[in-house]
Amino acid sequence: MSTIAVLGMPNTGKSTLFNRLTGSHAHIGNWPGLTVDLMQAELSLDGRLLQLVDLPGLYDLRGHSDDEVLVRRFLESTAVDLVLVVLNACQLDRQLRLALQVQALGLPALVVLNMADEARRFGVEIQTANLQRALGLPVVMLSAKYGRGIALLLQELRRTLPAPGDTPTAPSLSDLEAKLAAVDPQLEARQAELMAAAVQLPPQWRDRWTRRLDRVLLHPLLGLPLFFGAMALMFQLIYALGVPIQEGLAGVLDTIGQHLLRPLLTPLPLFLQGFLMEGLWQGLGTVAAFLPVIALFFLAMGVVEDSGYLSRAAYLMDAFMERLGLDGRSFVLALMGFGCNVPAILGTRVMRDRGLRLISMLIIPFSLCSARLNVFLFMAATFFGPRQGGLVIFGLYLISFLAAVLTALLFRGRFPTQEPLVLELPPYRLPTARQMVTRAWSEVKHFWFWSRRFIIWGVVAVWLLNNLPFGVEPASSLSLSGRLGALLEPVLDPIGISPHLSVALVFGFIAKEIVLGGLAVIYGQADPAALGRAIAADVSTLQALSFMLFTLLYTPCVSTVAVIRSESKQAGFTALSVGWSLLLAWVSCFVFFQGARLLGWS
């Protein structure tokens, strides 16, 4: 199989092209020698099997960010048959140097000028034939977003791919660095030469829409209120649409379980029956039911990001974030964390400075992710009316934000940073429906694969703890979970968390997705409404609020811990992150619970 690496700067539509070429067959691949995962997909061209690898965006092959180092290590450890160098056709005045660097490495390369649609919109004229001749590499101009020119690219691929028999060799790292250093002094002049030979830039900037929108959206006074207003509206819309779908789906799954699976399972022993129905099926149902909200979230986040608004948010928030020892990118990542903390923590790779990365990783887990939201929506509906419930959820978002600010203020001295911040502000773009749906779909798929095993094992473990030792009354004080609850009582009783809720919290450490499923198992109620009544009969509103506060602030899930460990490469830092969130959760709940009791609320 031939390997094709897709390489390019950020904001060149590299991933769009990758998706366009491979459809939805992309999957996460683990590469030998690299500790991180890369997106890859197989593609068949005239019966020849090709493997495409999407490398992370980079500015410079000699750069120092983690992503840039990663790309160098990839090129050194993998024998690639072809490098697809993706450039933004509008910005050849600074991006051609990347193609020159790849050429200097002696790797077989094909240059793709993407965003042909924007080049035309902005009046950039390119003679690809001239560029091809002057550069000495094949050049194809296309628009991945609108699918124009893809056939041309495939045709060029057929021509340029080395014969299947030729096995390429990977250059050694020292060789790689020597070649890049040698070409460095000529890059500037060569780039200017190529520009003169093949590109005419417009006499003046023609993007009037971006100018006009920026005047409003980046307004010193209006900018931030508009951004937060837009975010609030977006979250409202997601829940208004997603929650009914979620409830409907949960109902359907429950019906299938009761009327289809239960009769099928009746011949099995009672213990196994309970295990399969209350353990496994319920666990799976819980995750499946909230996939719609997650899909909507990623869809909306995708629109905000691809439209160019997200980088404006970084601009608007940077002055504030700088005073917290962070920067605009940390803000954007924390915002992404509201969907799922795991990709947000992976996203800190764009930061080169260690201190900045660590402190960003420390605040991201406080972002109220969709898994936690699921618990809060349920608890709020159980204990409060719709209006009050909305306020409680809003309050939790506020606390999530405050916890992040407090954490940054407390730890900025320990993780000082001098990281420069230089970010592109791309022109505003209208994302296409296809682009958004592909993206949301791949995120949901990723999430499903990622969380499934944790949730299944988690719910099964809760069920076993409740039903072991054999013959015990489920979830009674004699069961394993009852004993665990009693064990934790001295610590959790002062913050109002009952032994039943403690067990749910212990499993919430694995993943917040298990909390609801766990509660359903603990209280022996599958139907959400009946579960709500059972919980409301067992704990007070004040206890429920304390439980929500604790759920918000303590460790999000083992996946987050695992990814913090793998990205920080420090066990001590990982322990600090877990310890600090547990401490903050306990102290906040203690102050809240005991304070409310002192004020006479019970």
Partner 1 sequence: MRTARQLADLPKGATAVVASVSADASLCRRLEAMGLRPGQPVQVLRRGWWSGPLHVRVGMTELMLRRRDARCVVLAA
45 lies in the site for partner 1, by CB under 8 A: no
**Residues 286-305, interacting with partner 1 (CB under 8 A):** none
**Residues 186-225, interacting with partner 1 (CB under 8 A):** 188, 201, 205, 210, 214, 218, 220
Q: Single out the residue of 322, 409, 414, 449 in contact with partner 1 (rule: CB under 8 A).
A: 322
Binding string, residues 348-387; x marks residues near partner 1 by CB under 8 A: ----x-----------------------------------
Sign for the pseudo-dihedral over CA of 512, 518, 519, 520: positive
The residue (of 92 and 294) whose beta carbon lies closer to partner 1 is 92
Binding string, residues 119-138; x marks residues near partner 1 by CB under 8 A: ---x-x--------------
Q: Single out the residue of 423, 464, 536, 582 in contact with partner 1 (rule: CB under 8 A).
A: 423
Three-class DSSP labels, 42-94? EEEECCEEEEEEECCCCCCCCCCCHHHHHHHHHHHHCCCCEEEEEEEHHHHHH
CA 520/CA 531 separation, integer angstroms: 6
Question: What are the C-alpha distances in Å from 300 to residues 37, 237, 303, 431, 517?
Answer: 25, 9, 5, 11, 27
450 lies in the site for partner 1, by CB under 8 A: no
83 lies in the site for partner 1, by CB under 8 A: no
The residue (of 323 and 453) whose beta carbon lies closer to partner 1 is 323
Closest CA to 472 of 271, 314, 211, 209: 271
**Using CB under 8 A, which of the segments 46-54, 284-292, 415-423, 431-439 binds partner 1?**
415-423
Sign for the pseudo-dihedral over CA of 556, 562, 563, 565: positive
**Using CB under 8 A, which of the segments 69-77, 228-236, 319-327, 574-582 binds partner 1?**
319-327
CA 600/CA 440 separation, integer angstroms: 47
428 lies in the site for partner 1, by CB under 8 A: no
Q: Single out the residue of 315, 384, 441, 457 in contact with partner 1 (rule: CB under 8 A).
A: 315
If you search the block for the tokens 């020119």, which residue do you land on? Answer: 149
59 lies in the site for partner 1, by CB under 8 A: yes
**What are the φ/ψ torsions at residue 84 (nearest 5 degrees)?**
-90, 110
314 lies in the site for partner 1, by CB under 8 A: yes
**Using CB under 8 A, which of the segments 61-69, 273-281, 403-411, 558-566 binds partner 1?**
61-69
Type of residue numbered 577:
S
DSSP 277: I
Least distance from C-beta 64 to partner 1, angstroms?
4
DSSP 143: B
Q: Single out the residue of 94, 148, 212, 414 in contact with partner 1 (rule: CB under 8 A).
A: 94
- How many residues contact partner 1, by CB under 8 A? 40
| Bridge partners for 19 per DSSP | none
Q: Single out the residue of 40, 91, 370, 479 in contact with partner 1 (rule: CB under 8 A).
A: 91
The residue (of 83 and 377) whose beta carbon lies closer to partner 1 is 83
**Residues 3-32, interacting with partner 1 (CB under 8 A):** 9
Q: Single out the residue of 149, 328, 337, 508 in contact with partner 1 (rule: CB under 8 A).
A: 328
**How big is the chain by its Cα radius of gyration, in Å?**
27
Query: Ramachandran region of residue 404, left (φ > 0), alpha (ψ -120 to 50) or beta?
Result: alpha
CA 63/CA 85 separation, integer angstroms: 17
Q: Which residues contact 192 (CB under 8 A, 6 or more apart)?
A: none
Positions in the binding site for partner 1 (CB under 8 A): 9, 59-60, 62-64, 90-94, 97, 122, 124, 188, 201, 205, 210, 214, 218, 220, 311, 314-316, 318-320, 322, 327-328, 352, 420-427
